[in-house]
Structures are given as C-alpha cells and as structure tokens.
Chain A
Amino acid sequence: QKEVEQNSGPLSVPEGAIASLNCTYSDRGSQSFFWYRQYSGKSPELIMFIYSNGDKEDGRFTAQLNKASQYVSLLIRDSQPSDSATYLCAVNQAGTALIFGKGTTLSVSS
C-alpha cells in the first residue's frame, strides 16, 4: 500500500527561525509532490509543488526533493506566527489520485 509519512509534531519554532518539515513516501514510481497548508477549520491551500530532484524556491518557501531517498521537505525561512498551521504532504504516481500524509502541525511563537 502506498504510504506518505509525516511527523505529526507539533514542530515549534521561534519567529524568524527556519522551519523544516519532512515527508517520506513508499512508492518509488511517484512523480509529483505537493505541499499544502491547512489552517484549523479551513481547507487545504497549495503552497508548493515539485517534480524534479533538487530545490525549488518561492519566496520564503523552499521545496526539496530527493527521489533516491524517497524524501521531500519544505523549508520555511523567517517563520512568522501566521505560518502556524498544519502542513500536508501529498504524493502522486502516474495516475490521478494524490496520497496525503497526516500532516505536521507547525507552531511559530512570537
């Protein structure tokens, strides 16, 4: 069974620090990788997506993919209290469905 694993947290970081969120996946055929942010009581919101090995940067966010290690991460630089949320990792093989992890809760303290 295809699985996506995330540490549930909470991950606590002080304001201004770098938050590092990690995700591993079991299916070596996975091709597309997504990070969603979900505030409490709200719907998932797309933060980043990455398809190729290496880093992809967008503002304060950097997604990192290592297909050999089956590992994808999200770095948040200069963390802000407004970044406090649950971050969902989602992985797709060559198909339609996304497999979601259970999410990591991030808490940024001011």
Chain B
Amino acid sequence: NAGVTQTPKFRILKIGQSMTLQCTQDMNHNYMYWYRQDPGMGLKLIYYSVGAGITDKGEVPNGYNVSRSTTEDFPLRLELAAPSQTSVYFCASSDGQGNQPQHFGDGTRLSIL
C-alpha cells in the first residue's frame, strides 16, 4: 500500500531555476491537491484537480503550474524559483469531494537559495 508518493524528499534550488515536484497515488482517487506549509503555519492550498485533465487554482497559485494527464499523477511545476517558495510541499488525494478525508504524501522539503 504505497498511498501517495512524493519525490524528491529534499531539494535545494538556486534562485531562477525551475523544477517539478512529482506526486503519484495508487488509490484511484479522482481528487488531488498540492499544499505548502511554512514554519508554524497551516497548510495553504496551491492547486487542486478533480480528475484527469481538470485543474484549478487554490489560495496561493502564483509561481506554480500543474497538469493532470492521468488519474495517478499530479506534478507541480515551479518556474523561476524564488526564496519565498522555500517551504514544505505536500501532495494529497481524496476519494470524492471535500467532505472526504484527504490522504497525504510524505512531503518535499524545498529550499531556494
């Protein structure tokens, strides 16, 4: 039971570089989410998807892009990395709409220097 798998676990980027955070789930969940968590703060929604080919912005989407070509995968793309994007990123999935529990991956700790 892999659940939600995120790669990489850690990454250091230089300002202006770009990268893709990978997320895959094996629970056949339609709903997937990307959050960021800054120290001492709750989780902020970046983007979400309600199914393959459908994505929408969350609370803090600026500087990020997503795609959802399959049910299993929901990668998050950072273009032109900035120090403000230093954070821990969590991917989650759920079986249904927001009234269903979300299951989280282990997270990616990203530092922009």
* Partner-B contacts on A (CB < 8 A): 4, 8, 31-32, 34, 42-46, 49, 51, 88, 90, 92-98, 100-103
Q: Write 28 A-B pairs (CB below 8 A) sorted by A numbering.
A: A8-B40, A31-B99, A32-B100, A34-B101, A42-B106, A43-B104, A43-B106, A43-B107, A44-B43, A44-B104, A46-B102, A46-B103, A49-B101, A51-B99, A88-B43, A90-B43, A92-B99, A94-B98, A95-B97, A96-B50, A97-B33, A97-B58, A97-B59, A97-B98, A100-B44, A101-B42, A102-B41, A102-B42
* A98 touching B102, Cβ below 8 Å: yes
B88 CB to nearest A CB, Å: 9
Kindly list chain A residues whose C-beta atoms are within 8 Å of the C-beta of B99: 31-32, 51, 92
Chain B: number of interface residues, binned into ranges:
20 to 34
Question: Which residues on B sit within 8 Å (CB–CB) of A96?
Answer: 31, 48, 50, 56, 97-98
B23 → A minimal CB distance (Å): 12
Residues facing A in B57-113 (CB within 8 A) are: 58-59, 90, 97-107
Residues of chain B in range 1-59 having any CB-CB distance to chain A below 8 Å? 31, 33, 40-45, 48, 50, 56, 58-59
The residues of B that contact A93 with a CB separation of less than 8 Å are 98
Q: Is the interface of A mostly helix, strand, loop or mixed?
A: loop
Q: How far is the CB of A40 from chain B (nearest CB, A)?
A: 11
Cβ–Cβ < 8 Å partners of A51 in chain B? 99
Q: B97 to chain A: which residues have CB within 8 Å?
A: 95-96
Residues of A within 8 A of B45 (CB): 97-98
